[in-house]
């Protein structure tokens, strides 16, 4: 193991304006790409060494894709073609807006412009028990862990003596019917129909239940009522038990208690219910609202013109979006690109331009041949047509992502054949007892810090 | 979590002879495939749910391939087309040859024929310290762990203040110059040349050292002296520091002490030095020699005609192989197929036929365009020709493996482009403190048993 005092950030001094970006998600990479050149020094911090195409993470969890199909090393994205760009795999512990510095586990760094692009983290609404026993789906290790959990449940269901235990292993409760929950439920339903009966000939899959629990009065609440209605119908026809206006009360790893009083015995509860901004210590409390950082139309944090927040962690209230933009990739991408332009304007002593969100529509996939789309101009599509659009857009993105035509063809092949080559149980994965605790040394070698 | 007393093996009773196979490696799957039909009930136990093509595991460790390219779920290989075949993901704890039963964590099972096909495990020759701090490379989690370790070493080398620490992070010591050690060393040297300088522009890769430590007097001791000589030359030209007739004395995670007195400061020591048979409790001690199970020419364990051992765990002494067959895939594959035929002969009251090993040759790859081959007829090839043969055979195998033409094309693409898309650090991975300790309950949910 390596003590932190042996490490330093090791960023070269510079006369150029230094832009420090916290987070290599959609916002961070789109900003950094457009700052390339001779005008800025760009420093990016992330605690993962890769950028992920998270809309497809559910595919990793349901054994459709391996992580490398949806994630790309940040150092590969920002290679030697990027001048004066510095990536550091390190956790940011705080910011000091007065001193204009960022603190990390291994030292601090002065910034001229600070961009917070940290995205979101799961929100358990204070329910520690649910946090302890449920499976979130926000990171690659979590997706791999969930995949192993799903497969182990079937392994164990095939060898249990006790019918109640078997039923509990075959009950899968997904909390939250946003895109992740819906896509996961659909994917599980397809596995139940096409893949699992062949793998587990001794199991009766008519007993496998998929519950989708949602607090609001419709599935896919961020989308249009038309999309919700279609989606509800599709999920119904796939045999998914939907419970609307329902909240989870407690979960001890065995029994899900709903606030309605109903209980579901289940070994697997997947938490896709809510997220809040992944805030950074030191951001003034008055600039935070409902877990997100309030920004003006230039993505600036109030009172700190040299601090910006973009993407999911930011809340830019506009007339059309009084509660901020939807928590999807597009606002983050567009804000990243826009901020790059504004930073260049500042450099030339020009006035910044306000951000305007171009709504390109929303999509969700429920299964093979079935998706829903809300397109600009109040157009709502469903079924095969929406699915073709979903497919086209995701293929388009993945190609732009890294010209990985071959991984892509692999993915298309699996997509069309229902083949799930990656149903490997790769353990161990250990949930940290105290996820919030700061580590005191870097993990090197076989021991955990 | 699920207590073991809630589980049972749940294997249907049968009038057919029951063949219990421990292990889903090369031997186990080739045997099981050929027992398909109406004549046997086949039960396979493995503690992993997949079969792995381990000769390519080093590719997973060096970010060339994702696990799904080299591993295949056993339940998918043995799907509903296999009659009366039962896979159980469970750890075998022992055998009782007198009672003809196999013990597992969740119950025991009577057998008519028992086939031990458990392969090997790393052999640390009793050095607990090396076992604790070194990185073995026998399983998928170990390969992923090593991959993360390699990448984290570069991340940390780029931010350390201390030149000694940096050098220690950039020293990679591989112990054992068998095929795994050689292939790993070659692969690391290629990363150093083609991939890493682009990823870590701030690091001076002329300071990255790859040490290959071997106790014998030549690299690739299982192959011909001609192959060893060629390989040595290739490794030399790739800048790998080879130390022959050298043993590791101690390693505390920081400093490798060799028995020659020399020391190498290194944060990463990869243990590819030796294996011993993965023995099963209850096998009579008199049938074990140097960690392997002695078998006769029918793969029968002495004194127990209904217990067989095949593949790496077996030692069949023959005139040509007085110390048993080489520990590679071919003997396991051939013994698996041969034993299937013999079990069918027994069923028809025919005499079993002795196993004869058909040496198809050995291959090792050192890098792009460079391999060595020992072919039947005392033919020794090197360079590009051997590399083409290596490529052809591995492609052929992977196609037979699961018709994964597309994963394959992905792999070929990366192979030719030096592209390493999978350099993702996926932590956490926790080494079990007491790897030999038996778990007392199954891992379900987020907590480890």
User: Which of A1-5, A265-269, B332-336 is the least confident region?
Assistant: A1-5
Q: For residue range B213-245, what is the model confidence (pLDDT) as tens digits?
A: 999 999 999 899 999 999 999 999 999 999 999
Q: Chain B residues with CB inside 8 Å of A156's CB?
A: 2, 7, 442, 444
pLDDT at B130: 93
B201 reaches A (C-beta below 8 A): yes
Q: Token pair for residue A250? A: 């407690």
Question: For A81, which residue in chain B has the nearest alpha carbon?
Answer: B198
Look at residue A66 and tell me whether its pLDDT is greater than 80: no
Cis peptide before B350 (omega within 30 of 0): no
pLDDT at B433: 35
What 3 state SS string does chain B have?
A: CEEHHHECCCCCCCCCCEEEEECCCHHHHHHHHHCCCCCCEEEEEECCCEEECHHHHHHHHCCCCCHHHCEEEHHHHCCCCCCCEEEEECCEEEEECCCCEEEECCEEEECCEEEECCCEEECCCCCHHHHHHCEECCCHHHHHHHHHHHHHHHHHHCCECCHHHHHHHCEEEEECCCHHHHHHHHHHHHHHHHHHHHHCCCCCHHHCEEEEECCCCCCCCCCCHHHHHHHHHHHHHCCCEEECCCCEEEECCCEEEECCCCEEECCEEEECCCEEECCCCCCCHHHEECCEEEECCCCEECCEEEEEECHHHEECCCCCCCCCCCCCHHHHHHHHHHHHHHHHHHHCCCCCCCCCCCCCCEEEEEECCEEEEEECCCEEEEHHHHHHHHHHHHHHHHHHHHCCHHHHHHHHHHHHHCCCCCCCCCCCCCCCCCCCCCCCEECCCCCCC
Q: Chain B residues with CB inside 8 Å of A447's CB?
A: 253, 431
Cross-chain CB nearest to B80 (options A156, A198, A431): A198
pLDDT at B422: 53
The ranges assigned to domains in chain A are 2-122+276-347, 128-274
Biggest alpha carbon distance in chain B? Answer: 74
pLDDT at B261: 96
DSSP A189: H
Q: Do the chains contact at A49 and B409, CB–CB below 8 Å?
A: no
Cis peptide before A428 (omega within 30 of 0): yes
Is residue A156 within 8 A of residue A169, CB to CB? The reply is yes
B 1-60 → A contacts, CB under 8 A:
1-2, 6-10, 48-50
Provide ipTM, 2 decimals. 0.79
Phi/psi at B325 (nearest 5 deg)? -75, 160
Closest Cα partner for B129 from A448, A428, A445?
A: A445
* Across A385-396, average pLDDT: 83
pLDDT at A1: 54
Cross-chain CB nearest to A406 (options B8, B133, B410): B410
B 107-166 → A contacts, CB under 8 A:
132-135, 140-141, 144-145, 149, 151-153, 155-156, 158-162, 165
Q: Does domain A128-274 have CATH number 3.50.50.100?
A: yes
Q: What is the CA radius of gyration of chain B?
A: 23
CATH superfamily of A2-122+276-347: FAD/NAD(P)-binding domain (3.50.50.60)
Phi/psi at B306 (nearest 5 deg)? -95, 5
Q: What is the CA radius of gyration of chain A?
A: 23
Q: For residue range B263-287, what is the model confidence (pLDDT) as tens digits?
A: 999 999 999 998 999 999 999 999 9
What is the distance in angstroms between the Cα of A4 and the nearest Cα belonging to chain B? Answer: 9
Q: For residue range A166-200, what is the model confidence (pLDDT) as tens digits?
A: 999 999 999 999 999 999 999 999 999 988 998 89
DSSP E strands in A272-408: the ranges are 275-277, 288-289, 292-294, 300-301, 304-309, 314-315, 362-367, 370-375, 379-382
Q: Which residue has the higher pLDDT, B182 or A80?
A: B182
A 170-189 → B contacts, CB under 8 A:
none
Burial state string for B249-270 with b = 16 or more CB within 10 A and e = fewer than 16: bebebbebebeeeeebebbbbb
A 313-342 → B contacts, CB under 8 A:
none
**Is A128-274 in the same CATH topology as A2-122+276-347?**
yes
pLDDT at A447: 27
| Average pLDDT score over chain A | 87
Q: Do the chains contact at A49 and B427, CB–CB below 8 Å?
A: no
pLDDT at A433: 35
A201 reaches B (C-beta below 8 A): yes
Closest Cα partner for A185 from A367, A390, A424?
A: A367
- In the block, which residue shows the tokens 């149980």? A425
Chain A with chain B: Cβ pairs closer than 8 A: 232
Catalytic amino acids of A?
Answer: 183
A377 reaches B (C-beta below 8 A): no
Question: For B72, which residue in chain A has the nearest alpha carbon?
Answer: A421
- N-terminal to C-terminal alpha carbon distance within chain B: 8
Q: Token pair for residue B189? A: 């040297």
Is residue A256 within 8 A of residue A271, CB to CB? The reply is no
What's the CA gap between A107 and A43, in Å, rounded? 14
- In the block, which residue shows the tokens 């509903």? B80
A 256-295 → B contacts, CB under 8 A:
267-268
Q: Token pair for residue A93? A: 């512990």
- In the block, which residue shows the tokens 């003596």? A161
**C-alpha dihedral sign at A133, A266, A418, A364:** negative
pLDDT at A60: 87
Look at residue A70 and tell me whether its pLDDT is greater than 90: no
> What string of pLDDT tens digits covers the 449 residues of chain B?
566 677 889 899 999 999 999 999 999 999 999 999 899 999 999 988 899 889 889 988 988 777 877 888 899 889 888 999 999 998 899 999 999 999 998 899 999 999 999 999 999 999 999 999 999 999 888 898 898 889 989 999 998 889 999 999 999 999 999 999 999 999 999 999 988 998 898 899 999 999 999 999 999 998 999 999 999 999 999 999 999 999 999 999 999 999 999 999 999 999 999 899 999 999 999 999 999 999 999 999 999 999 999 999 999 999 999 999 998 899 999 999 999 999 999 999 999 999 999 998 899 999 888 999 999 989 999 999 998 888 888 877 766 555 455 555 655 655 565 555 455 555 433 333 333 333 333 333 322 22
B403 reaches A (C-beta below 8 A): no
What is the distance in angstroms between the Cα of B407 and the nearest Cα belonging to chain A? Answer: 6
């Amino acid at each position: 193991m390596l003590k932190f005092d042996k490490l330093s950030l090791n960023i070269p001094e510079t006369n150029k304006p230094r832009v420090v970006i916290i987070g290599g998600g959609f916002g961070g990479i789109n900003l950094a790409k457009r700052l390339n050149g001779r005008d800025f020094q760009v420093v990016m911090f992330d605690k993962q060494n890769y950028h992920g195409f998270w809309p497809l993470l559910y595919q990793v969890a349901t054994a459709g894709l391996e992580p490398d199909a949806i994630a790309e090393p940040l150092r590969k994205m920002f290679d030697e073609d990027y001048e004066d760009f510095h990536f550091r795999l390190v956790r940011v512990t705080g910011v000091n807006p007065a001193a204009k510095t960022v603190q990390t586990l291994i030292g601090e760094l002065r910034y001229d412009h600070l961009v917070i692009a940290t995205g979101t983290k799961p929100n358990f609404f204070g329910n520690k028990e649910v946090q302890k026993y449920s499976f979130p789906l926000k990171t690659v290790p979590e997706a791999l862990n969930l995949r192993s959990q799903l497969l182990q449940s079937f392994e164990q269901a095939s060898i249990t003596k006790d019918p109640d235990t078997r039923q509990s292993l075959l009950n899968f409760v997904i909390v939250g019917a946003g895109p992740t929950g819906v896509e996961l439920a659909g994917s599980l339903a397809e596995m139940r129909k096409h893949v699992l009966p062949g793998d587990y000939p001794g199991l009766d899959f008519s007993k496998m239940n998929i519950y989708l629990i949602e607090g609001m009065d419709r599935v896919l609440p961020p989308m249009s009522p038309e999309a919700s209605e279609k989606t509800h119908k599709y999920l119904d026809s796939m045999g998914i038990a939907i419970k609307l206006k329902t909240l989870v009360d407690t979960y001890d790893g065995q029994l899900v208690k709903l606030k309605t009083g109903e209980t579901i015995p289940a070994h697997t509860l997947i938490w896709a219910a809510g997220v809040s901004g992944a805030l950074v210590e030191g951001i003034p409390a008055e600039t935070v609202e409902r877990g997100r950082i309030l920004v003006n139309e230039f993505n600036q944090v109030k009172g700190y013109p040299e601090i910006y927040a973009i993407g999911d962690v930011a809340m830019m209230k506009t007339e059309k979006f009084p509660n901020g933009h939807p928590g999807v990739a597009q606002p983050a991408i567009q804000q990243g690109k826009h901020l790059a332009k504004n930073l260049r304007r500042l450099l030339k002593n020009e006035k910044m331009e306000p951000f305007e969100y171009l709504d390109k529509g929303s999509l969700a996939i429920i299964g093979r041949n079935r998706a829903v789309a809300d397109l600009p101009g109040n157009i709502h599509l469903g079924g095969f047509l929406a699915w073709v659009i979903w497919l086209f857009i995701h293929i388009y993105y993945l190609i732009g992502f890294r010209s990985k035509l071959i991984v892509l063809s692999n993915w298309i092949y699996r997509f069309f054949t229902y083949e799930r080559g990656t149903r490997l149980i790769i353990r161990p994965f250990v949930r940290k007892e105290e996820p919030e605790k700061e580590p005191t040394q870097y993990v090197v070698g076989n021991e955990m810090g």
